[in-house]
Structure 1
C-alpha cells in the first residue's frame, strides 16, 4: 500500500513539474538576463547608459516576477526527489540476530516489530 501511495504521489508531483516547466525555464532565463544586465550596468560609464540598463533590468525583473509559479514546479521537483529517495531506500535489518533468553533483548525486538 505504501508503494502504491508513493507511486500516486510521484505521478502528481511529475504532472505538476511538467505543467510548470515553461515558467521554470523562463524564470531561469530571466535570472540569467538580470545577471547580464547587472554586469553591463557596472561596466557602463555614462549616465544615459546606466539609466538604460536600469530600465531594461526592471522590465526583465517584471518578467521574472510574473513567473513566480515556477516555485511550485521547484517544490514539485523536490517532492519527486523525496519520493524517489523513499522508494529506493533499504530498511536496516534488526540489529538483534537470533533468539536469546534475555528478556530485555526480546523486548527490544518485539518493540521494534510493533513500530514498523
Structure 2
C-alpha cells in the first residue's frame, strides 16, 4: 500500500513538474539576466550605462516575478526526489529475543558460520 501511495504522489508530482517546465525555464533565464545586469551595473562607472543596466535588471526582475508558478515546479521536483529516495526504504526494526541477547549464543553461531565455509 505504501508503494501505491508513493507511486500516486510521484505521478502527480511528475505531471505538475511537466506542466511547469516553461515557467521554470523562464525563471532560470530571467534570474541569469538579472544576475548579469547587477554584475555589470556594479562594474560600470558611466551614469548612462548604470541607467541602462538598471532598466535591464528591472525588466528581468519583472519577468522573474511573472514566473512565480515555477515554484510549484520546484516543489514537484523535490517531491519526486523524496519519492525516489523512499521507494525501496524499509523499516529498520530491531527485535531482540532472549536467545539473541546471549553473547555466547551469538558467538557460537558466528563461529559455526566461519568454520563451515
Q: TM-score normalised by the shorter chain: which range applies?
A: 0.7 to 0.9
**Greater C-alpha radius of gyration:** 2
Gaps in structure 1 of 5+ consecutive residues: 101-116
How many residues in Structure 1 have an aligned counterpart in Structure 2?
100
Please list every run of at least 4 consecutive aligned residues from structure 1 whose deviation after the TM superposition is greater than 3 angstroms: 97-100
Equivalent position of 1:90 in the other structure: 90
State the Cα deviation string for residues 2-47 of structure 1 (Å, max 9, x = none).
1111111100000001110111111111111111111111121111
Gaps in structure 2 of 5+ consecutive residues: 101-117
Q: Determine helix, strand or coil for the equivalent of 1:88.
A: coil
Root mean square deviation of aligned Cα: 1.7
- Mapped to 1, the partners of 2:98 and 2:92 lie a distance apart of 16
- Mapped to 2, the partners of 1:64 and 1:49 lie a distance apart of 22
Does 1:66 pair with 2:31? no
Q: CA deviation at 1:90?
A: 2.8
